[in-house]
A and B are shown apart, each in its own frame.
Chain A
């Protein structure tokens, strides 16, 4: 049978950001995947060179809506190295708490999307309902649900009061119980096992070779986490385990994320109990000395990398961002090889893409000379129907 190429994407503004794939198909099996990036290019790095350091902070927050606090944490950690200032210890703990709350919300959101992709919409509703509790908590602490604006160069803007800490502890108790339930669902439910187990396997050697990051590489049994390897904020003082699973399939990546929620809950509890007192911010001059710095942060999706170069003026001379999804794209293409067309949504979702979309699938069957276009939603329905007909492989 001849190899058939199908382009997928790039547009689907509603659910995910644009990315285009060309899949080479041998019948129902994907034998190769070729990505085409750059549809969501917004020129943020260049724009930041025309903004002051304070203004660029809010720009960096808007690179990603879901892991916005990871971006600002990375920005302020890097900028503080350029400015030669250090945030007070209490500010560092508040950064850890907000970052971990953000991780919980990101992972719950992702779990809901994955459940939606496999046709398990009850779980999707459940996780998004529980995510709302985290968003309420973040709104209480920072003043906004998504774009928190809590980090500033030299500290944080808002303090966490004892009443807020009490409320956060209560929410953590509730979430711990719910997350344990989701873990049981992921391990025992036949829907999850049928659709996720042994799908999109990434071997540890491939994961290392292709430089995967975050839960994607930890699902392949490679123990790496920026929070442990290169601690920032107060992560060197807050104890936690790096979660790894050895299977490397989509189910392993799911379990890594669910266990990370449990770890984050424990980290928030520890940080709330052991938060030192004192100031939450220090004064920072408008102009930094000339110099350059890099910063790395473990965002919910993996390692986030920032580079800032200063020439002594009020504006950064160069601002560079490498987001975790970009690092995961080569590994994703490897994972897509050898899977069924019906598994494409699940495998693409398994890296938690920040730019990914399968809006318009143009299917060309060369042997019959037929052409048709699928949207992402139709591809999802096709995958659900295909599994209804074929059952468990």
Chain B
């Protein structure tokens, strides 16, 4: 008896699944997607790189400069575990998470959050592969 009731209910009800690329689910405010860093206000303290559990953040120097103060964080998204610890420890709160979750890319360039001084062509190079 209950089987017939379930069948009838399911005939008239809509499917629960979404047609993904066309329909998208609304993401909650706290969702942790792709990392963004506001490099203008970053002071280059390096706390994020020290605290990262996945060792996904490296501090890089601008070309020609070697001093410790001009280093800026570079995030390897393919290593990132999206725990948000870097955003938590950042003293200037410049690290935040967007709602972008489709992070697949064809090259390493697309999977890196880099400071503006890192040249485009260099992003897949030796400099990024270490660390």
Asked whether, in the complex, the Cβ of A143 is within 8 Å of the Cβ of B81, the reply is: no
Asked whether, in the complex, the Cβ of B88 is within 8 Å of the Cβ of A58, the reply is: no
Asked whether, in the complex, the Cβ of A143 is within 8 Å of the Cβ of B53, the reply is: no
Docked Cα-Cα span, A157 to B97, in Å, equals: 15
A264 close to B (CB within 8 Å) = no
A85 close to B (CB within 8 Å) = no
Docked Cα-Cα span, A148 to B3, in Å, equals: 38
In-complex Cβ contact of A55 among B31, B51, B88, B97 (8 A): B51
Residue of A nearest to B33 (CB): A143
- With A54-B85, A149-B83: A143-B51 Cβ-Cβ less than 8 Å: no
**Chain B window 34-74, contacts with chain A (Cβ cutoff 8 Å), 1 for yes, 0 for no:** 00000000000000000111100000000000000000000
Asked whether, in the complex, the Cβ of B82 is within 8 Å of the Cβ of A55, the reply is: no
Asked whether, in the complex, the Cβ of B28 is within 8 Å of the Cβ of A143, the reply is: yes
Residue of B nearest to A55 (CB): B53
B16 close to A (CB within 8 Å) = yes
How distant is B79 from chain A, measured CB to nearest CB, in Å?
A: 13
**Chain A window 109-148, contacts with chain B (Cβ cutoff 8 Å), 1 for yes, 0 for no:** 0000000000000100000010010001001111110010
Residue of B nearest to A126 (CB): B6
Is the contact region of chain A dominated by helix, strand, or loop, or is it mixed?
Answer: helix
A169 close to B (CB within 8 Å) = no
In-complex Cβ contact of B30 among A57, A61, A140 (8 A): A140
How distant is A231 from chain B, measured CB to nearest CB, in Å?
A: 28
A81 close to B (CB within 8 Å) = no
Q: What size tier do the contact residues of chain B reach?
A: 10 to 19
B84 close to A (CB within 8 Å) = yes
Asked whether, in the complex, the Cβ of B30 is within 8 Å of the Cβ of A58, the reply is: no
Asked whether, in the complex, the Cβ of B53 is within 8 Å of the Cβ of A144, the reply is: no
Asked whether, in the complex, the Cβ of A140 is within 8 Å of the Cβ of B83, the reply is: no
How distant is B10 from chain A, measured CB to nearest CB, in Å?
A: 9
Asked whether, in the complex, the Cβ of A149 is within 8 Å of the Cβ of B16, the reply is: no
Q: What size tier do the contact residues of chain A reach?
A: 20 to 34
A-B pairs with beta carbons under 8 A, tally: 49
**Chain A window 38-59, contacts with chain B (Cβ cutoff 8 Å), 1 for yes, 0 for no:** 0000000000000110111111
How distant is B11 from chain A, measured CB to nearest CB, in Å?
A: 14
How distant is B12 from chain A, measured CB to nearest CB, in Å?
A: 16
A381 close to B (CB within 8 Å) = no
Residue of B nearest to A144 (CB): B32
Is the contact region of chain B dominated by helix, strand, or loop, or is it mixed?
Answer: loop
Residue of A nearest to B17 (CB): A129
A158 close to B (CB within 8 Å) = yes
How distant is A193 from chain B, measured CB to nearest CB, in Å?
A: 15
- Cβ of B81: which chain A residues have Cβ within 8 Å of it? 58, 62, 147
Asked whether, in the complex, the Cβ of A58 is within 8 Å of the Cβ of B85, the reply is: yes
- Cβ of A55: which chain B residues have Cβ within 8 Å of it? 51-53
Asked whether, in the complex, the Cβ of A129 is within 8 Å of the Cβ of B31, the reply is: no
- Cβ of B30: which chain A residues have Cβ within 8 Å of it? 139-143, 158
**Quick one: which of A22-71 are within 8 Å of B by CB?**
51-52, 54-59, 61-62
**Quick one: which of A149-203 are within 8 Å of B by CB?**
149, 152, 157-158
How distant is A187 from chain B, measured CB to nearest CB, in Å?
A: 13
Asked whether, in the complex, the Cβ of B85 is within 8 Å of the Cβ of A139, the reply is: no
How distant is B116 from chain A, measured CB to nearest CB, in Å?
A: 28
Asked whether, in the complex, the Cβ of B32 is within 8 Å of the Cβ of A143, the reply is: yes
Asked whether, in the complex, the Cβ of A59 is within 8 Å of the Cβ of B31, the reply is: no
- Cβ of B88: which chain A residues have Cβ within 8 Å of it? 152, 157
- With A54-B85, A129-B16: A59-B53 Cβ-Cβ less than 8 Å: yes
Asked whether, in the complex, the Cβ of A54 is within 8 Å of the Cβ of B28, the reply is: no
Asked whether, in the complex, the Cβ of B84 is within 8 Å of the Cβ of A143, the reply is: yes
In-complex Cβ contact of A149 among B31, B52, B54, B84 (8 A): B84
> Measuring CB to CB, which residues of chain A are less than 8 angstroms from any residue of chain B?
51-52, 54-59, 61-62, 122, 129, 132, 136, 139-144, 147, 149, 152, 157-158
Besides A140-B30, A157-B88, 15 other A-B contacts (C-beta < 8 A): A52-B51, A54-B85, A55-B53, A56-B53, A57-B53, A58-B81, A61-B83, A141-B30, A144-B31, A144-B32, A144-B82, A147-B81, A149-B83, A152-B88, A158-B30
> Measuring CB to CB, which residues of chain B are less than 8 angstroms from any residue of chain A?
6, 16, 28, 30-32, 51-54, 81-85, 88, 97
Listed A/B pairs (16) with beta-carbon separation below 8 Å: A54-B51, A54-B53, A58-B81, A59-B53, A122-B6, A129-B16, A140-B30, A143-B28, A143-B32, A143-B84, A143-B97, A144-B32, A147-B83, A157-B84, A157-B88, A158-B30
